Amino acid sequence: MLELDGVRVTRGTFGLSADLSVPTGARVAIIGASGSGKSTLLSLVAGFLPPDQGRVRVDGRDITALPPGRRPVSMLFQDQNLFPHLTVAQNVGLGLRPDLRLSEAQRARIAQVLDEVGLEGLEARKPANLSGGQQSRVALARVLLRARPVLLLDEPFAALGPALKAEMLALLARIAEGTGATVLMVTHDPEDARSFAPQTILVDGGVAHPPAPTGPLLDNPPPGLRAYLG
């Protein structure tokens, strides 16, 4: 279970508070207007932003003081999920050992996850020589390999076309199911939320509301969300 317990953060005129919990293995969309604090919420969980008060816990363990890399969390960013100067195998291998001193068994494991995301044999390629969809698959392969309990998505597939995006979300759903990860996904697209996430966190008016069933929330949105959805 992921818990944000009385979390508050203020930066200048911007503030966000969150007091909510997400059950293990849940898939949750995060929806809200631009600048409402969706990415801030992810940063609080990922550890890029220290809360002014409150605790963040995963499965009962307090992770508030842990640096990002030590948290039981994987994150996919909007872009720059891969290092362009490293090969596919190295980019994935960073998920196992940041210093890339990989054993034979670990190399075999990398080949295996690349296989699972449909990239067999592309270990030696550089990201620039891959299509956008293939680059997303590399990032997903690393997520699969790390198998952290919490997975945060900051609209990583926004630049892909609709068909490719649906494909990636399906692959993502399969990975999350396999690893049992709790998934939080920021999205601008209500359809993504409906198809992927049974629950949705609404971020509005400086508050991240506890997860509510996605369908009813989108069918009958509160005023702030209604204005945003149009």
Partner 1 sequence: MAAGVFRLTRAEAGGAASAICLALLIGGTLAAVVWQAQGLAGLGPWDWRAVWFTLWQAAMSATLSAVLAVPVARALARRRFPGRAALVTLLGAPFILPVIVAIIGLVSVFGRNGVINDGLRAIGLPEISIYGWQGVILAHVFFNLPLSVRLILQGWQAIPAERFRLAASLGFGPKDTARHLERPMLRAVLPGVWLAVFLVCLTSFTVALALGGGPRATTVELAIYQAFRFDFDLGRAASLGLVQIAICVGAMALARRIAIPAAFGAGLDADHMPMAPGGWHRISDALVITGAAGFLLWPMAAVTARGLPRIAALPPEVWDAAQRSVAMALISALLALVLSLTLALSLARGRMRWVETAGMLPLIASPLVLGTGLFILARAWFPPQSLALPMTVGINAIMALPFGLRALIPAARTLHQDYGRLADSLDMRGLTRLRYLTVPRLARPLGFAGGLAAALAMGDLGVITLFASDRPTLPLQLYQLMNSYRMADASACAVLLMAISFGLFWIFDKGGRLA
Residues that bind partner 1 (CB under 8 A): 46-48, 50-53, 64-70, 73-75, 77, 80-81, 83, 85-86, 90, 94-95, 98-100
CB of 95 to partner 1, least distance (A): 7
For partner 1, the closer of residues 80 and 220 by Cβ is 80
| Cα dihedral across residues 110, 112, 118, 121: positive or negative | positive
Give min distance, CB of 64 to partner 1, in A.
6
Residue identified by tokens 């911007």 is 14
* 121's tokens: 């044999």
Report the nearest approach of partner 1 to the CB of residue 220 (Å): 36
CB 26 within 8 A of CB 32: no
Q: Within the chain, how many helices (H) and strands (E) appear?
A: 8, 11
Q: What is the CA radius of gyration of the chain?
A: 18
CB of 116 to partner 1, least distance (A): 20
Nearer to partner 1, 33 or 102 (CB): 102
Toward partner 1, which CB reaches closer, 11 or 85? 85
| Distance between CA atoms of residues 62 and 220, nearest Å | 36
DSSP conformational letter for 29: E
Is residue 22 within a helix (H) or strand (E), and if so which, with residue range? strand 14-22
Nearer to partner 1 (CB atom), residue 22 or residue 152: 152
Specify the residue, 13 or 80, whose C-beta has the smaller distance to partner 1: 80
CB of 61 to partner 1, least distance (A): 15
Nearer to partner 1, 31 or 139 (CB): 139
What is the C-alpha separation between 173 and 176, in angstroms, rounded?
5
Shortest spacing between CB 65 and partner 1, in angstroms: 3
DSSP 32-101: --TTSSHHHHHHHHHTSS--SEEEEEETTEE-TTS-GGGSSEEEE-SS--S-TTS-HHHHHHTTT-TT--
